[in-house]
Amino acid sequence: MSDEILFQKIVCNDAQRLDSFLARFLGEVLPGASRSGIATAIKAGLVSVNKKAVLKPAHKLKINDEVLVKKSRIPNENSRISSENSRISNELFEKIKIIYEDDDILVISKPSGLVVHEASSLKGESTLVDFLKQSNRQLATLGGEFRAGIVHRLDRYTSGVMVVAKSDFASAELSSQLQQKTASRIYIALCDLPLKQNCVVERAIGRCENNRLKKAVYPLGKNGAKYAKSAFCNIFLDEVQNSQNSPKKNTPNIIAAKLFTGRTHQIRVHLSSINRHILGDVLYGFKGSCDIIRVFLHGYILELKHPRTGQMMSFCAPLEDDFAALIGVDTRTLNEKLTKNFVLSCFEPFNQWLCLS
């Protein structure tokens, strides 16, 4: 369960651990706030000290340190979903855009902040599955009640295109395409630095030894590491650069990423492994402004075969307003320049790119 934090900044009046300080303070204003939930929030990058993100619950605070808690939800062991959380969920549901629908599949654009399906660490959160059930649509049941219709997922703070299965037949066919890697997914990210050159990253991904919320690059098999492959390219647009190879100073760098496998946090992990970080992704090393409140990663293109007809279909989810605002152009101009065909063409020569393994 969860409650909304209605404050932001706290001044520490005693030297102590960060998680202990927040547990004591939150316990006074949010009865039932759990210690584990506070630790999870810290590791997720929702807490900063003296304007710097801190990811360790055991971080030692000093007197007069300023602790900033981003407006978020801390798991609460005793409370039910508040009316405020319900309002936030309704606002997220209203942002869901329907791109395509027939008797077998539903293609949507998921907003940032919306969880796809229930998980043990997110009990009480409204999810995309809740939205689908409330819409009274027929949904595939192969994934079980909590994952009805879901054949793939996007991270909570990743926006963009997703396909939902409305029948068990469609669910099986789509899952097969994803497993056999015949479905294609391309993402757009805003990063702190441009790529030195377009590249392919083939590095196995497994569980991080030091943070259970993270994944990391390891030799194949270590910590459950599985083969993973991504391609990355710089996207240069006239509106946001001075020249073909020199983006304007302080302008976010637009990078496109193509997945050949589908590991958890794959794009974020692979970019981090080449010292590039998505804006807002403090979990994987972004050290910029604390004012950025989401991970600027967007599922842009999804290509698959229709599960019943076999027809090749291509779907695109236009970038959201916050992407355009951060780049400094209006949303319409950005999406007119960053067309589906343009982005697809960027990956045509990927077999000639540097491969990092």
Residues marked as catalytic:
155
H or E element that contains 162: strand 159-165
**Both tokens assigned to 111:** 């907003």
Q: What is the dihedral of CA 199, 202, 203, 204, to 10 degrees?
A: 150
| Exposed/middle/buried for residue 86 (C-beta within 10 Å: 0-12, 13-18, 19+) | exposed
Can you name the residues that pair with 293 across neighbouring β-strands? none
The residues, any chain, with a CB within 8 Å of residue 141's CB and separated by 6 or more, are 148, 168
| Exposed/middle/buried for residue 136 (C-beta within 10 Å: 0-12, 13-18, 19+) | exposed
Closest to 116 measured CA to CA, from 161, 142, 73, 147: 147
Angle (CA) 341 344 348, round 5°: 125
Q: Where are the alpha helices (DSSP H) in 12-102?
A: 18-29, 35-43, 83-95
